[in-house]
Amino acid sequence: MSAEFLLRRRRRRQWLRRRTVFVVAALTRADTPGRQSAVLSGVNDIETELRKRVFDAARAFFATAHAPKPFVPGVTYVPVTAKVIDERDLVSLLDASLDLWLTAGRFSRDLEAKLPARMNRKGNALLVNSGSSANLVAISALGSPMLRDFNVKPLERGDEVITAAAGFPTTLNPIIQNGWVPVLIDVDFATLNALPETVMAARSAKTRAVVLAHTLGNPYRVDKIAEWCRREGLFLVEDCCDALGATLQTATDSGAAAAPVGSFGDYATLSFYPAHHITTGEGGAVIARDGRMRRAVESLRDWGRDCWCEPGKDNTCGKRFAWTFDGLPCGYDHKYVYSTIGYNLKMTDMQAAIGLSQLDKLDGFIAARRRNWQTLFDAVTSNPALSEGLIPVRATPGTEPSWFGFPMHCANGVDREKLTRFLEEHKVGTRLLFGSNLAKQPAYKGIEFRRHGDLAASDEILKRTFWIGVHPGLDAARISYMVEQLEAAVKAARR
């Protein structure tokens, strides 16, 4: 440390000590409102200075403890997903921690206010503790009795919900958990997404909703599906957990425009697990079409209560003890009236503080993911050894993906298990397309569902598909190594 830095630090400490002595002495003499206000101002000055010292120490700690480590090919593991955290995230986390509010507070309110704009929505998002919880409350809200308050019929036991067979289990599970019947449809092998015509053909007289994920950040044609759902009176839930920032080209009165995923359905869901586009550690969010739909989700998230007060607040409605509910005494405390069978799935303010800091960097993260995907795509398609052994998944026509990974199918004659084992042994992380054909997974044996078609593409995905990373933590050296190992793996996996 320089002599100048040490001198500045000593002077700041001397000022803080003098200021503290002054404020403590003033507290004993603060016998008027004016004097009390002056004392409080002094306390705030001390708190601000102390926070600044904590933040400065945190930045120094981060620079030392979390300095980038050199990449050693064949030794350093290249993960398929990774969070990208910097000192700003740490400072934001500490800022929330020093408040000691702990549950949802000022950072949660800010994040809930800022997220909907990313999906061309108004109002506030609802933060939850995971993307799976986001799916749980968004899908479950389709059966909420609160929908009747604005003349919408909720889903009932035995109703059908169309969803893709190939995907992640917590897109499917809430359908089953609510007593509805999943209608499993196949996906397009080239894009990993359900096609609008397949969705439409799967409908029966019992169908009430469509729930689909934008697979690995590659959008399906949700614009066409949403239009059809509106015509047919069906609910639509967009699982955007892997796709924050993806867009579709849509026609408007002024020409073509890019519309974000999440702006078409009744609900959109997000995940902030460390693997995703931004992270809060664990966490997720639901963005509703309007305030009435949001209300149904909020109740499910917050124990099922009828009250909508934020943590630490009372009587937001202005008539806390003036409500009337069948079976309850007149004026029963509204904070303890329960209209739905709910949960407690809220996010903490510390998590939200990281999310706010991460949100400021989202555009850069998305650009890096797209750039890394393109580099891998060009490498695979321009190399005969790779292009003959691997078939990259393509972007859905008319969309701009926000890639979560780089998915590929193994060509005939290439053994996927041998290939992924080779890559992992050589320090390149791999993943399958989650549960692939979920109808084949052990958890769903004996579960009632309707199968539309033969699910042939989902069966091929079960046997041939995998993906590697495109996250912003990858640099040129790591991507070059990944490509080298892909080529070696294809050769090793030939049958």
* Catalytic residue positions, numbered: 276
What 291-298 contacts at long range (C-beta under 8 Å, 24+ apart), as own/partner pairs, is 291/123, 292/149, 292/150, 293/141, 293/266, 293/267, 294/123, 294/124, 294/126, 295/146, 296/141, 296/144, 296/146, 296/147, 296/340, 297/126, 297/137, 297/138, 297/141, 297/267, 298/126
Rounded CA-CA distance 419/66 in Å is 33
Residue 226 φ/ψ region, left for φ over 0, alpha for ψ in the -120 to 50 degree band, beta for the rest: alpha
Nearby residues of 307 by Cβ (< 8 Å), 6 or more positions away: 316, 317, 320, 334, 335, 336, 337
How many Å apart are CA 253 and CA 191, to the nearest integer?
29
Amino acid identity, position 340: T
Instruction: Tell me the C-alpha distance between 385 and 387, whole Å.
Output: 6
Of 156, 292, 142, 123, nearest to 229 (Cα)? 142
Q: How far apart are CA 43 and CA 50, in angstroms?
A: 10
**Which of 340, 303, 344, 281 shows the shortest CA–CA distance to 133?**
344
Helix (H) / strand (E) containing 197: helix 196-201
Structural contact between residues 138 and 297, judged by C-beta atoms closer than 8 angstroms = yes
Q: Identify the three-state secondary structure at position 91.
A: helix
Angle formed by the axes of helices 349-359 and 87-99, nearest 10° = 150
Q: How far is CA 166 from the centre of its chain?
A: 19
One-letter amino acid of 398: G
Give the up-direction half-sphere exposure of residue 141: CA atoms within 13 A in the CB hemisphere.
31
Which CB contacts under 8 angstroms, 24+ apart, belong to 391-396?
393/190, 393/191, 393/192, 393/216, 393/218, 393/465, 394/190, 394/191, 395/191, 395/218, 396/191, 396/193, 396/218, 396/219, 396/220, 396/221
**What is the distance of C-alpha 89 from the center of its chain?**
17
The whole-angstrom separation of Cα 344 and Cα 304 is 8
